Structure 1
Amino acid sequence: MQPPAPSTVPAFGDPDDGAPGPLGLEMIYRDERHALVRFITRHRSNREDAGDIAQEVFLRLAQSEQTRTEPIARPRAFLRQVARNLLRDRAKSAAGRGELMHVPFEEDAISAANEVSRLEARDSLARIEAVMRRMKPKTREIFMAHRLDGLSYNEIAERTGMSVSGIEKQMAKAMTMLLQHAGRD
Structure 2
Amino acid sequence: MSTDNKEDYVRDIYLQHREELCRYIVNKCGVKSSEAEDIVHSAFARFVGMESPLSVENPRAFLYTTSYNIAIDLKRHNQVQNRYTQSVVDNDAEIIEAVGPEREVEGKQRLGIISRALWGMPQKRRQLLMMSRFDGLSYAEIARQVGLSETVVRKHISNALADCHKALQAQS
Shorter-normalised TM range: 0.3 to 0.5
User: What TM-score does the superposition give when structure 1 sets the normalisation length?
Assistant: 0.41
Considering only CA atoms, is the larger Rg found in Structure 1 or Structure 2? 2
- From the two aligned structures, give the one with the greater helix fraction: 2
